[in-house]
Amino acid sequence: MNRFLMGAALLALRLSTGGAAECPELKTLRLANTEITVAEQVAAGAFVPAGTEPSAATLARFKSLPAFCRVAGAAHPTPDSNIRFEVWLPAAAWNGKFVGVGNGAWAGFIPYPSLIDPLNEHYAVAATDTGHEGDASDARFASDHPQKLIDFGYRAVHETTVAAKAVIHAFYGSKPQRALFSSCSTGGRQALMEAYRYPEDYDAISAMAPANPMVALMVSSLWTGSATAKNSASLLSPAQFELAHKAAVAACDARDGVIDGLIAAPLRCAFDPATLPLAPAQIAALRAMYEGPRNPRTGISILPGFERGSENLLPVQASGSGPFPAVASYFRDLVFSDPQWDFRTFDYDKDVARAQREHAGIVDIPPQGLGPYLASGRKLLLSHGWADPLVPPRSSIEFYQALPHAAANARLFMIAGMGHCQGGEGPYVFDPVATIDAWVETGRAPERIVVSNPANAPMRTRPVCAFPQEAVYLGRGSTDDEKSFRCDASGAR
């Protein structure tokens, strides 16, 4: 009997008797349509992703890692599928739980930094490249490869979850007592997709700024990137965006009852850029970004626009050079299959319908589709920064309001001043994994979470109240202290 078969036989014997495997033995673990390529023990602080040069800050985070068993593999549910994944398992003090994490944009690589925090908190954790390797702004991997688009759209995270649970069971000799998923942007969309298509995979999910509905979001980003690129007259410089931002904050800061440099109630802000010393085409561009794309034939909104208070962050996709690269690639390579495609020719009626017809069933999540997940008692934590410049914040509000069974098992938190997944002018740091873990553990839904500034910024904390409640200043105490606020259903007057 060769070495591999001996290892496989030993592992099978251990599993049949309820025993745990040694880390290297996991390389012989047999899973359907899946191969394990790496099973190695990693010493504390020794892991650095191969072929990368992480920043000093990220390298320091890797140095903080405890010893763990690293398992890497690939799932092949179809002949054209190659879904790479990694599972990291604490060598000691496992808390008995499992966390799945997601990706950004078009993925194409294992998001190693996202594995750090869960592992440091003693969770087993897993991630995938979603079935392809490449630049996250490049959608060409799916051109003429429909199975790879399906892998990206929904199948890869599920395959990774199934494999991760099997690896955990083999390594520890017991299944995870709880499974949680937490991520932002594309990862937030992946979280919702898991709840929609595979409601039994996770007990609770955190979806921050979910990039959903993805097809409409691609249209929204195209619209936003085009607003300042139609001609030279519509171009806005970063300084002009900053001018608009300061004017919007000055007009609407006090709407929530506190003057603190943040627009915490943007839905009550009617700031009009016509008051600014800008050219008519520049004012029209700002208004277009606030309004969002509409079907020119029906007048129906395709996706909400961006909020007053996000102007200083909008240059990330409204630089004047055209649509965001990940968006341009989607339309050029997947919708039109035309390397010479010109974004200025896009028809916001017929071309939107074409994109939705071809891809919405693969990458979009209808809120009504989460009925079985929520009805089963599983938990959904939605969160979104009000100043997000990439995914319109009101898209999360609309999704939440359309959810079935939302009152009991779903909560939405809108964070003042926060950008896309992080950053912005307001405090935004909180622990979504701990939040959903405690929700499952206690059965008590979070009605108020506390956000803070990152460690390198001045101390500032604020409560974020479950939507539609708002944080209202008590009239005493520091406005940089969350204890100086209460949650109120009616908001500030």
* Residues 35-53, mean pLDDT to the nearest whole number: 93
Task: Note whether residue 140 is domain-resident.
Answer: yes
pLDDT (tens digit, 9 = 90+) per residue, 141-192? Answer: 999 999 999 999 999 999 999 999 999 999 999 999 999 999 999 999 999 9
Nearest to 371 by CA among 411, 410, 397, 414: 410
185 carries an active-site annotation: yes
Would the pLDDT of 4 be above 50? no
Confidence of residue 273 (pLDDT cuts 50, 70, 90): very high
Nearest to 90 by CA among 64, 45, 126, 123: 123
**Is the domain of 243 the same as that of 196?**
no
**Is the domain of 466 the same as that of 383?**
yes
- Measure the CA–CA gap between 419 and 104, rounded to whole angstroms: 15
Query: According to the model, what pLDDT value does residue 490 have?
Result: 63
Task: Note whether residue 330 is domain-resident.
Answer: yes
**Is the domain of 8 the same as that of 151?**
yes
Task: Note whether residue 217 is domain-resident.
Answer: no
**Is the domain of 117 the same as that of 68?**
yes
**Is the domain of 359 the same as that of 369?**
no
**Is the domain of 370 the same as that of 358?**
no
**Is the domain of 397 the same as that of 446?**
yes
Task: Note whether residue 229 is domain-resident.
Answer: yes
Task: Note whether residue 181 is domain-resident.
Answer: no
* Residues 228-249, mean pLDDT to the nearest whole number: 96
**Whole-structure pTM value:** 0.95
Confidence of residue 210 (pLDDT cuts 50, 70, 90): very high
β-sheet bridge partners, residue 466 = 413
Tally the domains of the chain: 3
Give the angle subtended at the CA of 217 by the CAs of 213 and 222, to the nearest 5°. Answer: 160
pLDDT (tens digit, 9 = 90+) per residue, 366-417? Answer: 999 999 999 999 999 999 999 999 999 999 999 999 999 778 999 999 999 9
Task: Note whether residue 259 is domain-resident.
Answer: no
pLDDT (tens digit, 9 = 90+) per residue, 28-37? Answer: 999 999 999 9
Domain stop point among 315, 334, 363: 363
**Is the domain of 168 the same as that of 207?**
no
Confidence of residue 17 (pLDDT cuts 50, 70, 90): very low
The active-site residue, picked from 384, 420, 437, 484, is 420
Give CA 327 to chain center in angstroms: 17
**Is the domain of 84 the same as that of 167?**
yes
**Is the domain of 231 the same as that of 101?**
no
Contact between 31 and 1 under an 8 Å Cβ cutoff? The reply is: no
Q: What's 376's domain CATH number?
A: 3.40.50
Token pair listed for 420: 């896309």
Domain stop point among 298, 330, 363: 363
pLDDT (tens digit, 9 = 90+) per residue, 322-344? Answer: 999 999 999 999 999 999 999 99
**Is the domain of 106 the same as that of 227?**
no
Query: According to the model, what pLDDT value does residue 217 have?
Result: 98
Token pair listed for 324: 């965001």
The active-site residue, picked from 388, 395, 396, 484, is 388
Contact between 420 and 440 under an 8 Å Cβ cutoff? The reply is: no
- Helix (H) and strand (E) counts for the chain? 16, 13
Task: Note whether residue 257 is domain-resident.
Answer: no
β-pairing, 97-100 vs 68-75, is: unpaired
The packing angle between helices 156-172 and 3-16, to 10°, is 80
Would the pLDDT of 450 be above 70? yes
Contact between 395 and 382 under an 8 Å Cβ cutoff? The reply is: no
Give the angle subtended at the CA of 458 by the CAs of 454 and 461, to the nearest 5°. Answer: 70
Q: What percent of the chain has pLDDT over 70?
A: 95
Task: Note whether residue 322 is domain-resident.
Answer: yes
Confidence of residue 18 (pLDDT cuts 50, 70, 90): low
Residues 6+ apart with CB under 8 A from 17: none
388 carries an active-site annotation: yes
For the chain, what is the mean pLDDT? 94
Q: State whether the Cα torsion 439-442-444-447 is positive or negative.
A: negative
**Is the domain of 21 the same as that of 127?**
yes
- Which range marks the domain in which residue 230 is found? 222-252+265-363
Domain stop point among 363, 380, 415: 363
The active-site residue, picked from 81, 114, 182, 185, is 185
Would the pLDDT of 81 be above 90? yes
Nearest to 411 by CA among 399, 422, 424, 400: 400
132 carries an active-site annotation: no
